[in-house]
Structure 1
């Protein structure tokens, strides 16, 4: 039975945000949001290490206060993936290891999703993996919900903000929504960042298209779970209610 390589979880957390400044520090039941994400992530048994990666001293200080391992990164990064790479290099992650980019605004993250995401890397041919879940036609109509289609062997064909597949003759579609969790082999993560933005990436504002345009396959893992990210301050109350119900 093939063994998984070492797995690292990295949670990028930046202070600046046009819709919700200081989001990682948002108070949820007396703890900053990043603490809740970290606590969820470390429940996944496949991780050897999980760390927070930030560019802000306020987040760094709070991480230390709550005993969350943290790496200080540069302020020049244009995406969370760039920040994840810098943190992974600071941790001396081996080339064949798996690095998971864990969104820092997912305080309701299901640890089982991370297990599903990493299990395919027992196959040495898997270089990048992500998740998808079934969605309704109404959900598929929203450009905020990214859609994905893939081959029978599991390789992504395309991601789009438009509904895909397009139903030319009408009827009910079979839509899959992309979940923005990514796992990379370390060597592939380096190459991804070095490539720079691609044309389709700029047009759709979806960085995963950079991989497909450069012939780097993305393995898509279907999951029954959904995510509940925090985009705006008003989302915090929904998270608090959900956590209170679970407790």
Structure 2
């Protein structure tokens, strides 16, 4: 299989504008994410896909590969779908531009699902990580995911799901880590399907796949990513790199 990584990168993030170009201990956030994806050596190619000249220049001037988006998009998956429509690829991995701490082992586990016994039933795969702290669980920047017994996603929400009405039930809450591995066809289908009400309400693009009946295989990982959604997150990331 030909496997590529695509990093969608929009400058005007609603919660923290310009975050991808912020300094993270000597390099921009987006450059650190690009280099981390390249350093895994899991991909035939790695690209940043952006509508912004500043981000495009930041990657290309450091010898990286960047693609300029032709149109405005509602979400990163739409931006990637436009970029890959004429490419000969099998699996497209969407790496979030604001998550520069990429774990190679977790990505390898994610890609492995496309070689396992139930691979034919998988349209895309993504990662989940257990959350242990209440402040993590209640933080609406952390998207929660619930799965069935075969680890296929049932729903994603910014609200803590499931609701613990029975306080004796032993529930593990899982954070959705926004790294996806798509079959190209699933990504193309996504691009051509309109947003429905659940995705619009939660502002979680993975929900569109569920609303249209696609199968999302979730892979558990212990990886704890730092998604840079606020200036406070950026300071945490700086401390991690320094330490």
How does the TM-score come out when normalised to structure 1? 0.89
Q: Indicate whether 1:82 and 2:75 are aligned.
A: no
Distance 1:17 1:162, change over 3 A: closer
Using the TM superposition, give the Cα deviation of residue 137 of structure 1 relative to its aligned residue in structure 2, in angstroms.
6.1
Q: Are the equivalent residues in 1 in contact too, given 2:138–2:160 (CA < 8 A)?
A: yes
Q: Secondary structure at the match of 1:107?
A: coil
Partner of 2:155: 158
CA distance in 2, matches of 1:175, 1:157: 14
Distance 1:236 1:137, change over 3 A: closer
Q: Secondary structure at the match of 1:116?
A: helix
**Mean Cα displacement is larger for which, 41-50 or 217-226?**
41-50
Alignment RMSD (CA, Å): 1.7
Show CA shifts across 1:151-173 (max 9, x none): 22221111122222222221342
**Mean Cα displacement is larger for which, 167-176 or 51-60?**
167-176
Partner of 2:88: 93
Distance 1:234 1:144, change over 3 A: closer
1:26-41 equivalent positions in 2, closer than 5 A = 26-41=22-37
Partner of 2:127: 131
Q: Indicate whether 1:149 and 2:146 are aligned.
A: yes
Question: Where does structure 2 lack aligned partners over 5 or more consecutive residues?
Answer: none
Partner of 1:167: 164
Using the TM superposition, give the Cα deviation of residue 93 of structure 1 relative to its aligned residue in structure 2, in angstroms.
3.2
Distance 1:234 1:148, change over 3 A: closer
Q: Are the equivalent residues in 2 in contact too, given 1:128–1:182 (CA < 8 A)?
A: yes
Q: Are the equivalent residues in 2 in contact too, given 1:98–1:186 (CA < 8 A)?
A: yes
Partner of 2:217: 219
Distance 1:105 1:135, change over 3 A: same
Partner of 1:231: 229
How does the TM-score come out when normalised to structure 2? 0.91
Question: Where does structure 1 lack aligned partners over 5 or more consecutive residues?
Answer: none
- The runs of at least 4 consecutive aligned structure 1 residues that moved more than 3 Å come to none
**Mean Cα displacement is larger for which, 54-63 or 136-145?**
136-145
Using the TM superposition, give the Cα deviation of residue 75 of structure 1 relative to its aligned residue in structure 2, in angstroms.
4.2
Partner of 1:72: 68
CA distance in 1, matches of 2:181, 2:129: 17
Q: Are the equivalent residues in 2 in contact too, given 1:137–1:175 (CA < 8 A)?
A: no
Partner of 1:105: 98
Q: Are the equivalent residues in 1 in contact too, given 2:129–2:222 (CA < 8 A)?
A: yes
